[in-house]
Amino acid sequence: MIKRLVQAMLLAVILAMTLSACGSDDANYESDTTIDTENNDGMDLVDVPTEDYIISCLENTPNILEVAAVTEENDPNGHLNAEDGYYSAVFFSVDIIDQNEVYGEGLIDKGTDAGGCIEAYKTEADAQARDEYLSGYDDSWLFNAGYHTVVGTLVIRTSQKLTENDQAQLETNIISVFNGKPDDVRPFTNISEKEDEAVSNSEVSADTVSEHSTEEITMSQGASDYLGANWTIDSLTEHFEEMGFTNIRTIPCEPNDDNYESNIFELYIETGGFSSDSWEAGDKFEPDVEISIYYNESPILTIENCNDLATVLTSQDMSYSTFAEKYNGQYVKFDGYVTYHITYNAGIDHIIQVTGGDYDGSVELGHSDDGYYDGLNIYIGDRTMDSSIDESVDEGTPVTVSGKISADWSEYYGNLYVETIHLNRR
């Protein structure tokens, strides 16, 4: 439904516009010929445009904060300049998404979640093929490609964090600027303005202040009940706000081998006299008391929160080396099955490799070469004193693996390498 809505809006915009360039003298990839704005059909400026033109247009689109073009070294998909791949991919962030809540360091690492991306292809057929590929995951729980539309030879992708209406309007705004009509865009209200508006809407006279806003709040749970993996920093902050607390402080912390599976590490509440403490269920506090939440700023990667992990476990759309470089040093947890297990040194030492998913009996196990498993092998590391690896597992055994990604050891072994903390039978 959203795709049809976006395409209809974009087609209407394109057909209604007379065109001019938006800050680039060479709007086309293969030619610097000036566009004849009186005789074209509205498609020239989105037909193989240069990367400079794409960047210039995005920089002139309201609400776009940052723009970054991928290189072959940092391309998250590995499609840049590949056969039938894009010759340019430009990511962008928008101010109507709180960038502090988007996972990743840097715009390209955050990906389309930060705002979106424009992928540019040399033919419309290549763009359509990419769009069809992305469409295969539109209803998937495992992957989430966000929303996407083909215009000319471009695939315009927008963030899944936007509402359907905002996605449609953002894409319409981008196309308006591409076609030299920046005055036709409808800027969004940005985050700061939305916050100001919320404050304005919430202001009431002293005569109408509710009793709830001045009464003490009774804690429904003790501080220890919020620790661990059941709450995220977003859900817990929202929970306390719904209870009526107005002074919530969040402090990001780096995980370690002992707490990497937790999202919330510690919770404290101001108790007066420059001191703070935990609380028990039934304790009462004023709404403006300060609550401090110490949370995991690098949550453990799973297929539920990391599309790249789902990709690297099940396909070759992302190489293990690209994944390892991108997520080096981060903790990960996934299900797989043992594809290779040998022992040596009188049974003392082991080499174990796993592959994502479950063994279905369709391949013969016991091979360790990369090509046999299409590069999907994962090397189980054991270099920490506290590791807990079930060394009795056989080839084909379903297991759960958790540990830390190592780019250096991935390069050394020629497989994705996980410095394993736990390997357990499922």
Question: Among candidates 148, 146, 144, 147, which has minimal Cα distance to 121?
Answer: 148
Instruction: Indicate the helix (H) or strand (E) that contains 6.
Output: helix 2-16
In terms of DSSP H, where are the helices of 208-275?
A: 233-243
Distances (CA, A) of 415 to 15, 53, 360, 365: 50, 39, 22, 17
Q: For position 210, what pLDDT does the model report?
A: 42
- Written as tens digits, the pLDDT of the chain (426 aa) is 444 444 444 444 443 443 344 544 333 333 332 333 333 344 567 789 999 999 999 998 989 999 999 999 999 888 999 998 999 999 999 998 988 888 888 899 889 989 999 999 999 999 999 988 888 776 654 455 668 889 989 999 999 888 888 888 898 889 888 887 777 788 876 554 444 544 444 444 334 334 445 589 999 899 999 998 889 999 999 999 999 999 999 999 999 998 999 999 999 998 776 677 889 999 999 999 999 999 999 999 999 889 999 999 888 888 889 999 999 999 999 999 999 999 988 878 899 999 988 888 877 887 766 566 666 889 999 876 668 999 999 999 999 999 999 999 999 988 899 999 999 999
Tokens linked to 28 = 């086309």
Asked if residue 295 lies in contact with residue 253, where contact means CB atoms within 8 angstroms, the answer is yes
pTM as predicted: 0.50
Task: Report how far residue 32's alpha carbon sits from residue 20's, in angstroms, rounded to the nearest whole number.
Answer: 14
Q: For position 22, what pLDDT does the model report?
A: 56
Could you tell me which residues come within 8 angstroms of residue 343 by beta carbon, excluding any fewer than 6 positions away?
349, 350, 391
Task: Report how far residue 142's alpha carbon sits from residue 139's, in angstroms, rounded to the nearest whole number.
Answer: 9
Q: Specify the amino acid at residue 362.
A: S
Tokens linked to 287 = 């709404």
Question: Which pairs with CB-CB distance under 8 Å and at least 24 residues apart come from 228-231?
Answer: 228/261, 228/262, 228/263, 228/264, 229/261, 229/262, 229/263, 230/263, 231/263, 231/264
Q: What would the DSSP string read from start to end of 396-423?
A: T-EEEEEEEE-HHHHHHHTSEEEEEEEE
Tokens linked to 331 = 């903790």
Q: For position 241, what pLDDT does the model report?
A: 94
Instruction: Indicate the helix (H) or strand (E) that contains 90.
Output: strand 88-94
- Taking each helix axis from N to C terminus, what angle separates 164-178 and 2-16, rounded to the nearest 10 degrees? 20
Q: What 3-state DSSP class applies to 196?
A: helix
Question: How many other C-beta atoms lie within 10 A of the C-beta of residue 303?
Answer: 20
Q: For position 100, what pLDDT does the model report?
A: 85
